[in-house]
Amino acid sequence: MKIVVIGGTGLIGSKTVERLRKRGHEVIAASPNSGVNTITGEGLTEALSGAEVVLDLANSPSFEDKAVLEFFETSGRNLLATEKLAGVKHHIALSVVGTERLQESGYFRGKLAQEKLIKASGIPYTIVHSTQFMEFLGGIAQSGTVGQTVHLSPAYVQPIASDDVADAMADVALSAPANATLEIAGPERARLSELVARYLKAIKDPRTTEADVEARYFGARLNDQSLVSDDNPRLGSITFEQWFAKSAQPT
């Protein structure tokens, strides 16, 4: 089976491509560097020719409100239109647990716009909502840093390792379209501020972490339900300690 992975050279994309190839499928790792650009449309028709399944794992290069909305809307329209012409039988997109609850954030408004385009396209689909990746803890810490203090919400998170995400995406790619949203999450819940404090201590970062209920998460105010899944999620198996031990150079 021919499968096209948009964003196939990124963190999740590259791992998903590897898993699908090991299962014997023809997999195209599509990205602007490989001549496939969902914004301009360059290379899309050729890449999708004969494809049965398309996974959209691409992310916006900018988190600025207008730019991120334009990215997901333009990319989504171009990709879905080309898929319809190519006769793609299953469109899969990776999104975020809590997207509909975090509409104060421009990033999550962009993701919701992407999801609406998929549902209206007429193409059989599966949307996978994932909790935050453990690999993004460094970026989350940076987003809340003022001087030597990291201000973060004490809301619960349920982070998942990228290997567990890739396992789930590969399984979904080889399954029938759900025409629904599925959720995946890590095996443990922790408070965001406490988890980042553990992470910084583990990498010997001198910054301190301060729990602040008013601290914004990429523009959105959090509560204990914002970033966790209570919708019967598929749980990953890798704990924070296991992930950290395996990650020689956490990002």
Q: What is the mean pLDDT of residues 242-250?
A: 76
**What local confidence, expressed as pLDDT, does residue 247 receive?**
81
Q: What percent of the chain has pLDDT over 90?
A: 95
pLDDT digits (tens, 9 = 90+) for 91-150: 999 999 999 999 999 999 999 999 999 999 999 999 999 999 999 999 999 999 999 999
Q: And the tokens for 114? A: 């992407």
pLDDT digits (tens, 9 = 90+) for 13-70: 999 999 999 999 999 999 999 999 999 999 999 999 999 999 999 999 988 999 999 9
Provide CB contacts within 8 A for 89, sequence distance 6+.
52, 53, 124, 177
- 3-state SS assignment for residue 172: helix
Rounded CA gap, 191 and 201, in Å?
15
Q: And the tokens for 145? A: 């840093």
Structure confidence at residue 205 as a pLDDT band (50, 70, 90): very high
Burial of 223 (0-12, 13-18, 19+ CB in 10 A): exposed
Mean pLDDT of the chain: 96
Q: How far is CA 208 from CA 150, 156, 191, 198, in A?
A: 6, 19, 15, 10
Rounded CA gap, 161 and 148, in Å?
27
CATH topology of domain 2-246: Rossmann fold (3.40.50)
**What local confidence, expressed as pLDDT, does residue 250 receive?**
43
Q: What pTM was computed for the model?
A: 0.94
Provide CB contacts within 8 A for 149, sequence distance 6+.
207, 208, 209, 210
Report domain extents, the chain.
Answer: 2-246
Structure confidence at residue 248 as a pLDDT band (50, 70, 90): low
